[in-house]
Amino acid sequence: MIIETLNKSTVFSGLKQDELKKISAYFEEASIKNNETIFSEGDPSDRLYLLSEGNVKIIKHTVMGKDIILEVMSPGDIFGGVAVLDNRPYPATAQAMNAAKIIRIRRSDLMKVMEEYPDLKLEIVRYFSDKLRDSHEMLKNIATERVERRIASLLLKLSEKTEVDANGYKMIDFQLTRQEISEMVGTTVETCIRTMSKFQKSGMIKTSDGSISIRPDVLRRLLDE
């Protein structure tokens, strides 16, 4: 599972198979239960994580007592990395959204791997720079955009890795509650429910057994208005 997971990652997939096999010895596997916390905000950042299966949400606790979901991780994504590189406490909490599998590497071992493969260090920096830009864009949207546009942007982002079906829909490949959507776009659950209902009535989205499918062309037109 370790080499398969490294191959899924845009950071590690550039290494040759013999190199991946060599560095895989530094990683360990772990299974995570649904809703289990992997690390909490403020914990010492002793490991970098890669998601093998399932989904993980990154949560920030606010001074108002509310939670904001900063990001949802999919297989191949890396999390906990910025804190590990800075050797500072984790700035947010990582929690499984369903039964998940991860691989992880200790900070000291990661430093060894990056010293041995300098190109990998550059890929890691590039990866987290992109993540930082995405976070800034999300915060800007929360501060300036209407709720409808925030939710439309989120649904488009979460469906990026899936293909359009014959009817023009893309399915988000994990279940997402209205509570979780509201925590990702900075609104109330009630407003989220009303907006999603409006989207469904207009054919922008459809739901089945907790899964959400979207019409990306229609949602993009909403964002272009």
State pLDDT tens for residues 55-114: 999 988 776 667 788 888 889 999 988 888 888 899 899 999 999 999 999 999 999 998
Amino acid 214 reads: I
Look at residue 47 in the predicted model and tell me its pLDDT.
93
- For residue 139, the one-letter residue type is L
Statement: the pTM of the whole predicted model exceeds 0.85: no
Residues 184-205: pLDDT tens digits? 888 889 999 999 999 999 999 9
DSSP 213: E
2-142 maps to CATH 2.60.120.10? yes
How far is the C-alpha of 126 from the C-alpha of 123, rounded, in Å?
5
Q: How far apart are CA 48 and CA 81, in angstroms?
A: 5
- C-alpha 53/C-alpha 98 separation (Å) is 9
- For residue 58, give every residue at least 6 positions away whose Cβ sits within 8 Å of its Cβ, in sequence order, or none: 69, 70, 71, 72, 73, 79, 92, 93, 94
Determine the pLDDT at residue 144.
66
Helices 107-116 and 118-144, packing angle to 10 deg: 120
Structure confidence by residue, pLDDT tens digits, 137-168? 766 666 667 889 889 988 988 888 788 887 88
Residues in the chain: 225
Task: Check residue 70 and give its pLDDT.
Answer: 84
Query: Which CATH architecture fits 146-224?
Result: Orthogonal Bundle (1.10)
Per domain, the residue ranges of the chain are 2-142, 146-224
pLDDT of residue 15: 85
**Residue 8 to residue 19: CA distance in whole angstroms:** 15
Question: Could you report the per-residue pLDDT of 3-61, keeping only the tens digit for each?
Answer: 999 988 888 888 888 999 999 999 999 999 999 999 999 999 999 999 999 999 998 87
CA distance 173 to 74: 9
